[in-house]
Amino acid sequence: MLAVSELLQLESAEVLCEPGKPIRHVYFPVEASISLLALIDGSPGVEVGMVGREGMLGVQMILGVALATVHAVVQSPGTALRIAVNDFHNELAHSQALQRGMNTYLYVRLAQMTTSAACLRFHLIGPRLARWLLMSQDRVHADSFHVTHEFLAAMLGVRREGITTAASALQRSGLIAYRRGYLTVLDRHGLEAAACGCYAAEREAYSAMLC
């Protein structure tokens, strides 16, 4: 599959696909991370999934569907492998191992979206924010990364004031530090304790199915 892939740099806030539009490429992040947002009635959207090096953007190709269902935007810049849809379809047709891997990842992605929907409805902003930060750290493989309160508010579907209050509480507890748009995770274990149970459930699903 590497023979038909292209290594490229994804830039922050770059839009990779939009709902209802044809998918032209699939992406396998190497260093980058991608946020998947559901858009409803012209709203800014809310994040329903996140993709890093553990997965791919365009997994619905395993079902023969070449239309996007989410608004995919680059969350953290970095490199990714990009493959044209036709090339990826040919690779799928000739590799049962790739088909099995994609089927498994499709299941994990659906589980992630289901968890995100329930988390949005039932959990408070603080635990949801802790979960989001842990998920991001897992994908950027660094303790510090660039993120703004505005971006966090959009991802979690809340007002900016709610993010400011929740982030300030995490900072006072010594779990994170935030300065000039850069957030640093200071206490990973403490942040895991502060997160809702959705984070641990997702980690278990990934470990059981993909490791």
Q: Which fold has domain 124-195?
A: Arc Repressor Mutant, subunit A (1.10.10)
Terminal Cα-to-Cα distance of the chain (whole angstroms):
21
pLDDT by residue (tens digit) across 149-159? 999 998 998 99
CA angle 99-103-106, nearest 5°?
135
CA angle 58-63-69, nearest 5°?
45
Sole residue written with tokens 């994804």: 10
DSSP 110-157: HHHHHHHHHHHHHS-HHHHHHHHHHHHHHHHTSSEEE--HHHHHHHHT
Q: Which fold has domain 2-120?
A: Jelly Rolls (2.60.120)
Do 2-120 and 124-195 have matching folds?
Answer: no
pLDDT by residue (tens digit) across 3-23? 899 999 999 999 999 999 999
Cα distance between residue 173 and residue 133, in whole Å: 15
Domain ranges of the chain: 2-120, 124-195
Per-chain mean pLDDT for the chain: 93
pLDDT of residue 16: 98
pLDDT by residue (tens digit) across 93-131? 999 999 999 999 999 899 898 999 899 889 999 999 999
Confidence class of residue 211 from pLDDT cuts 50, 70 and 90? low
pLDDT of residue 1: 76
What is this structure's pTM?
Answer: 0.91
pLDDT by residue (tens digit) across 169-180? 999 999 999 998
Determine which helix (DSSP H) or strand (DSSP E) holds 191, and give its type and residue range: helix 188-194
User: Residue 33 is encoded by which pair of tokens?
Assistant: 């991370």
